[in-house]
Structure 1
Amino acid sequence: MTPRQSTGGAKAQVRRLLALLPYLLAHPGARVADVARVFGISEKQLVADLGVLWFCGLPGMMPGDYIEVDMDAVHGEGVIHVSNADYLARPLRLSADEALGLLVALRVLREMGRESERELVDRVIARLEEAVGHGDNAVDKVAVRLDSVEDPAIRTAVRDALDQKRRLHLRYWVPARDETTERDVDPMRLVLADGWTYLEGWCHKAKDVRLFRLDRMVEARVLDEPASPPPDARPRDLSHGAFQPSAATAMATLELDPSAAWVAEYYPCEEVTEAADGSLRVRLRVADPRWLRRLALRLGGSARIVEPAELADAVRADAARALEAYGSV
């Protein structure tokens, strides 16, 4: 019996429709049961997808120009016939802006990728440049440079470990604890998230997949041992950023003066309320209370922790100790 995939909501349906239409055009008269089995969904879900496809088309089209699905054949004979979608066979034509955006993305990908991946990306870039053409087009003038504060030797070691599939020994600064830890990591990939470059890999110290910012690596040394993440180790979905709190993550409430309003833009907040004077009251998830204590001390009098009360008390105690230290100098 073929396992059924979760239909996954609207986003999953859009992805499915984008794959479904080319398949149906290549297999005219395909049976409903066979197509449902190929896509790992129920026949009921497939019929619902066809009902949505029936009202799809290119922007600016009139209702009579939409994709045609013979729903009578679907319900009566159990077969699928699709028509009025010939425009999908037209060669893709990119505007200069679209080609420029695609080239920038490809060149960033090249900078982040492994050696074998960079060779593939170079071929795609060359084909794209050839297809767009040369001359006065801004595409010819695109150059991408990823500015970073990372140690070039550390980035080289990380790339070598990925290319050679070997384990890394890291000395890594943990800002929440203000300490440098040592650990062995089996590299999985380099990824760009929230403007920072991360190494994602299996951490033998944590016994789990972890992200390590390259600019926080004090040392990276390639070991002789092969990298061997467990079979169930999977890369994280970082489409919503590197920090993705769960409902179980502690919540904190802060009051921010206008001069500290940048906090609400820089860090993901659950709720932001603005007062008439421009001050903010924000609620955000906090994975490590020590991070919030350090942030509050950094902001000084322009921020106040409202909840939880014990954390507010801890910050006041931190501030008192800091003042005492200044007084003894």
Structure 2
Amino acid sequence: MSAAARGPRKPPESATARLARLLTMVPWLVNRQGIDLAEAAAGLGVSEAQLEDDLRLLFLCGYGQMPDELIDAQWEGGRVFVTNADAIARPLRLGIDEALTLMVGLRALAAVPGIGEREAIERALAKLEQATGASAEAAARVDVAIDDAVEAQVLEGARRALEQRRRVHLRYLVPSRDESTERDVDPMRVLNLDAHWYLEGWCHRAQDTRLFRMDRIERLDVLDVDGTPPEQARLRDLTAGTFVPREDDLVVRMRLLPGATWVSDYYPVDSVDRHDDGSQTVTLRTADTLWLHRLLWRLGGRGIVLEPAELAAEVRAGAQEALAAYEGLTGTTPADG
């Protein structure tokens, strides 16, 4: 079965993310012995299959290598029991610096319109302030601000539209095509990921949910039009990051020669095969190939499209046109010069 037929795959989970989940999961399950497997998965925010994979991994975890030094996990019959985990059975404790960072983040989160469970955020803040005592004053003096005036204005407009359920009109810069597009959007949420603010909403131009980075919105106008998203609008799962592959994305295989292998670290890829000569064969997905054209021309022959053949022909034709234009202007080819 081809990669395209299998559909999009989520980026592989990092070891750090899985370790953090396991450290949270063990004390949670220890204090809920015999909990139903489906209920445990829902409470931990994972699928039942992922929970079973995590429980299998716990068999290899402990403070030693002997059987009585390893965690014992049982879930036969649909009930979960975790024993011999006294060493990590107590919930993780926050340090003062971690607690202050969390308090600053919660205050910033509470200020975002449309955030649900605002009372839960306030209760968590109150508990943290009580636990940290006088140290909480430091967090209270921190103000989260956006330096760029245009982005701050866009953020304020997006928040207002979300509160008032109004549609917005955007002029949005698409870096991959180096062009600005006009579109109407029904806001669904405002969020901050990896130090960037985003507006997620139903895009009437794409007829689908889209994520717009605030610093790429050149203009945002709040319209006097109801901005309630249609019933089919769904928030995207952003737990693995902002890049979400789609079923109709083009699957591209490339050969990266030494000097161009940085591409697999900089761009999201499905797979990387490393070769003895230092080159790589990578597979990636994209809905727009214009940025890929520019990338391959920039690599100057160190990036080679293996599949699909149509894309390879387009890149080759573009390079030949550029060489012909250069020769027409100078009377020489780059090699002659």
Residue identity matched to 2:235: P
1:179 maps to what in 2? 179
Root-mean-square deviation (Å): 5.0
Q: Are positions 1:287 and 2:287 aligned together? A: yes
Write the deviation string for residues 234-287 of structure 1: whole angstroms up to 9, x where unpaired: 201011222222465332122334443321112121222334454333221222
Deviation at 1:84, TM superposition (A): 11
1:7 maps to what in 2? none
Query: How many residues of Structure 1 are paired with residues of Structure 2 in the alignment?
Result: 294
Name the CA distance, whole Å, in 2 between partners of 1:130 and 1:305.
59
SS in 2 for 1:133: helix
Mapped contact 2:29–2:82 kept (Cα < 8 A): no
Q: Are positions 1:245 and 2:245 aligned together? A: yes
Mapped contact 2:27–2:90 kept (Cα < 8 A): no
Deviation at 1:102, TM superposition (A): 2.8
SS in 1 for 2:300: helix
1:312–1:130: structure 2 CA closer, same or farther, 3 Å change rule? Answer: same
Mapped contact 1:203–1:210 kept (Cα < 8 A): yes
Mapped contact 1:96–1:138 kept (Cα < 8 A): no
2:226 maps to what in 1? 226
TM-score under structure 1 normalisation? Answer: 0.65
Residue identity matched to 2:113: R
Write the deviation string for residues 208-238 of structure 1: whole angstroms up to 9, x where unpaired: 2122222222211001112111233220101
Name the CA distance, whole Å, in 1 between partners of 2:82 and 2:195.
44
Mapped contact 2:188–2:201 kept (Cα < 8 A): yes
Name the CA distance, whole Å, in 1 between partners of 2:224 and 2:241.
33
Name the CA distance, whole Å, in 2 between partners of 1:82 and 1:316.
59
2:263 maps to what in 1? 263
Residue identity matched to 2:183: R
1:311 maps to what in 2? 311
SS in 2 for 1:297: helix
1:4 maps to what in 2? none
Name the CA distance, whole Å, in 2 between partners of 1:264 and 1:285.
12
Q: Are positions 1:160 and 2:160 aligned together? A: yes
Mapped contact 2:202–2:233 kept (Cα < 8 A): yes
Name the CA distance, whole Å, in 2 between partners of 1:149 and 1:82.
52
2:213 maps to what in 1? 213
**For structure 1, which segment, 81-90 or 166-175, has the greater mean C-alpha deviation from structure 2 after superposition?**
81-90
Residue identity matched to 1:103: M
1:319–1:161: structure 2 CA closer, same or farther, 3 Å change rule? Answer: same
Mapped contact 1:257–1:280 kept (Cα < 8 A): yes
1:252–1:92: structure 2 CA closer, same or farther, 3 Å change rule? Answer: closer
Taking CA–CA contacts closer than 8 Å with sequence separation of 6 or more, which of the two structures ends up with the larger relative contact order?
2
SS in 2 for 1:260: coil
Mapped contact 2:186–2:202 kept (Cα < 8 A): yes
Deviation at 1:122, TM superposition (A): 6.3
TM-score under structure 2 normalisation? Answer: 0.64
Deviation at 1:105, TM superposition (A): 4.2
Name the CA distance, whole Å, in 2 between partners of 1:172 and 1:137.
40
Mapped contact 1:199–1:212 kept (Cα < 8 A): yes
Q: What pairs with 1:44-193 in structure 2 (closer than 5 Å)?
A: 93-96=93-96, 98-103=98-103, 105-106=105-106, 109-110=109-110, 113-114=112-113, 121=121, 124-125=124-125, 127-134=127-134, 151-193=151-193
**Percent of residue pairs bearing the same amino acid type:** 42
Write the deviation string for residues 288-321 of structure 1: whole angstroms up to 9, x where unpaired: 2223213223333442223222212211211222
Name the CA distance, whole Å, in 2 between partners of 1:185 and 1:327.
46
1:316–1:67: structure 2 CA closer, same or farther, 3 Å change rule? Answer: closer
Mapped contact 1:149–1:215 kept (Cα < 8 A): no
Which structure's CA Rg is the greater one? Answer: 1
2:335 maps to what in 1? none
Q: Which 5+ residue runs of structure 1 have no aligned equivalent? A: 1-10, 26-31
Name the CA distance, whole Å, in 1 between partners of 2:152 and 2:313.
42
Name the CA distance, whole Å, in 2 between partners of 1:81 and 1:239.
27
